[in-house]
Amino acid sequence: MSERIDGADRYSRVDLDDGGEALAREVAEGTRGLHQLPRELDPLMAAAVRRRAMELRAERAGATLSLEHIGSFSLDAQRASTQHCENFAGVAQVPLGLVGPLRVLGEHEQGDVVVPLATTEGALLASVNRGCRAIQAAGGARVRVEDVGMTRAPAFRTSGLEEVGRLLEWVESHFDRMREHAGKTSRFLDLQEVRPKVLGTTVFLRFRFLTGDAMGMNMATIACDRLVSELIEPETGVQCVALSGNYCVDKKPAAVNFELGRGKRIWAEVELPREVLERILKTRSEMLVEVQLRKNLHGSIAAGAMGYNAQFANVLAALFVATGQDLAHVVEGAMGLTHFEQRSDGAVYASVYLPDAPVAAVGGGTGLDTQRESLQLLGIRPDAENPGRAARRLAEIVGATVLAGELSLMSAFTSRDLARAHERLGRGPSERP
């Protein structure tokens, strides 16, 4: 039985009239920009014009191009084109699968969840699913989350140390006033801290905000802009040269985020009995501990890496695509640490630590149709009367899923199963030599 979602496969429903064809020709010829379509044009029609323009460009070059699959989708084109993606032309689809059940023993999530992961990497879901089975057999993963908050750090130009001192004195003595002023931009935003950093004549002020269930980057940016333009610059005379001075630090691996945290700090742990290690993961505790030492610690140190783990990024990227998180934040979440240690009777204690995991239950891509469904699958439903709880619950699920991925991949290294799994699951028939 096939189920059709109302509005799906919209490509076949959009036929360009003579006016649409004329617009497409103008775009293809370069006399009209991709962003210069009439404002009154329906977003579905505008997307069709852009796709047709690219097909015409290919024809002019003697090539054949069809964008049929890019143009087949069920999401809300109006929302996508006005809130998420300029010059909207269609979608890029990523296969989505399910892993679990995964027992999460956190403060906000206490029970079994089935986790959606979207990826193009064969063998990833099979591996994470095996890790979920191991955690389930051991009774579940204990998870703790700290809401550090979102940061934004404007950079200011000063004339020298004397002006630096005056600026820092002003910031310290006006914290309560800045907190009140920032709070006017959103009832869900609360300024927690302003941390200064001085380099030469440049002063960075790292503002840290709690932002409820939102990831909060836009909220923090808007609040900082108001603080800078309405308080700091007028009252100190010091000029802001960049609203983001790279001391935030956003979408880059950075020691300051590893040390101070950003978004959510996540800890997840489980103790696996010997029987579970041997039956499900096909390994032993002493083998896991050695691979952890030589790969995740020695290898990362030798490489100068900031991630002491096996594959945080794999799991985070798949979860982020599925649930509508900001994909560029994978680079921050990948900085964490995996830890194994032997326990009595052949058991192993395993844990992961993610110091910098910006996640959201509202805002951004979480409102897209498929991403919203994935969040609903996880039971993530924001409550305006309890802001932040849904995002912390999602972070607990993130931590447990990352732990499952680490357990399975590290075990695959000990049993030499990694290459065999990718050869069996990660290659299609046409890719086999």
Q: Which residues are known catalytic residues?
A: 121, 326, 422
Distance CA 282, CA 15 (A): 56
Closest-CA residue to 116 (of 413, 371, 382): 371
User: In this structure, are residues 171 and 154 in contact, taking their beta carbons and an 8 Å threshold?
Assistant: no
- Report how far residue 160's alpha carbon sits from residue 167's, in angstroms, rounded to the nearest whole number: 11
Rounded distance between C-alpha atoms, residue 210 and residue 216, angstroms = 8
Total Cβ atoms within 10 A of residue 342: 14
Taking the C-alpha atoms of residue 43 and residue 198, their distance in angstroms, rounded to an integer, is: 47
C-alpha distances in Å from residue 152, one per residue of 145, 148, 188, 251, 328: 21, 13, 16, 12, 16
Residue 232 Cα distances to 50, 65, 171, 176, 237, angstroms: 44, 54, 8, 13, 8
> Which of 256, 270, 290 has its CA nearest to residue 410?
290
Cα(212)–Cα(37) distance, integer angstroms: 37
* C-alpha span between 366 and 362 (Å, rounded): 6
Distance CA 146, CA 103 (A): 20
DSSP state of 98: E
Nearest in space to 78 (alpha carbons), one of 367, 321, 366, 376: 367
Q: Is there a contact between 415 and 280 (Cβ–Cβ < 8 Å)?
A: no
Q: Are 399 and 268 in contact (CB under 8 A)?
A: yes
Q: Do residues 397 and 115 lie in contact, with contact meaning Cβ atoms separated by under 8 Å?
A: yes
